[in-house]
Amino acid sequence: MNAQQIMALSHAGVAVEVVAETGSTNADLLARASTLEAPLLLVAEHQTAGRGRAGRSWLSAPGHSLTFSLAWKFEGGVQKLTGLPLAVGTALAETLARLGQPVQLKWPNDVLKDGDKLAGILVETASADSGGVWAVIGIGLNLAMPDELEQQIGRSVAAVPWLARMERDTLLAAILDGLAEALRLFDKSGFAAFSARWNLLHGWQGQLVTILDRGEVLQEGLAAGVDDAGRLLLDTESGRMTIVAGDVSLRIKG
């Protein structure tokens, strides 16, 4: 991948860096947050210590996935970022659909294809010296899935062979454009501008699901989308409940 080519193909006006290998692009940008002056996209050809939500590992194979992080500054405090992972998921899903690959969303931060996980999103924050907060948005997107990696992951995962044949710089430029447009809208209007769009892409709408926290069942009911704050709406026997983001897994009950 070529940083200059990605920037030339993109309309986002965001600086891009490409490295051959690193542990975690999120960790790298968080470490640089105090020195950043403008948004930056950091792309790794291979990531050796990728992280997912709740401290989980994100495994990838060189040449078979996209692993990158985007640092974006927001004015105000971290409370302004409520729902940001869902807005990012919406932007990524809509971009993939424009490229010919329809996908669905799973609350709070997964992109699904045919019911299996295709991409994950991890948002971490760092205070900006000049005020405001840097959001570091990490994305791992499976393009192809070698059998040995799927065995290492230990569960069925999705891939997008159609997009795997696409020129990587062109694909990344399209994703960057979609993300930048969404982040500018989020900065202005918050997640309320995305809730209806997210609900249209909800992969488990109306499904009976179980909410788990560290393996323990908290609630179960019918998944009914999200509200304007990004909370999951769950229709239970005792009425509609809202579930906030955290160390919570969502699984179809079966």
Q: Which pLDDT score, from 0 to 100, does residue 193 have?
A: 98
| pLDDT tens, per residue, the chain with 254 residues | 999 999 999 999 999 999 999 999 999 999 999 899 999 999 999 888 655 544 454 455 556 789 999 999 998 888 899 999 999 999 999 999 999 999 999 998 899 998 888 999 999 999 888 788 999 999 999 887 544 544 454 455 667 777 778 899 999 999 999 999 999 999 999 999 999 999 999 999 998 888 887 778 888 889 999 999 999 999 999 999 999 854 456 666 55
Which member of 73, 106, 117, 231 is catalytic?
117
Phi first, then psi, for residue 186 (nearest 5°) are: -60, -40
251 is annotated as an active-site residue: yes
Nearest 5 degrees, angle CA 89-CA 62-CA 49?
70
pLDDT of residue 25: 94
* Helix, strand, coil % in the chain, rounded to nearest 5: 30, 35, 30
Secondary structure (3-state) at 17: strand
Distance CA 155, CA 153 (A): 6
Instruction: Name the catalytic one among 32, 80, 197, 251.
Output: 251
168 in catalytic set: no
Q: Which of 224, 190, 196, 193 is nearest to 209 (CA)?
A: 224
- What pLDDT is stored for residue 76 in this prediction? 83
Residue 214's pLDDT is what? 74
DSSP-derived 3-state class of residue 129: coil
Supply the pTM of this predicted model: 0.88
Compute CA distances 138 → 101, 222, 237, whole Å.
Answer: 21, 30, 37
Q: What integer pLDDT is reported at residue 245 of this predicted model? A: 54
Q: For residues 162 and 169, what is the distance between their CA atoms, to the nearest angstrom? A: 15
pLDDT at res. 63: 60
Q: Which of 51, 53, 73, 106 is catalytic?
A: 53
Tokens 């294809």 belong to: 113
Domain ranges of the chain: 3-200, 208-252
* CATH H superfamily, domain 3-200: Bira Bifunctional Protein; Domain 2 (3.30.930.10)
117 is catalytic: yes
> Top-level CATH class of 208-252?
mainly beta
Q: Are 178 and 103 in contact (CB under 8 A)?
A: no
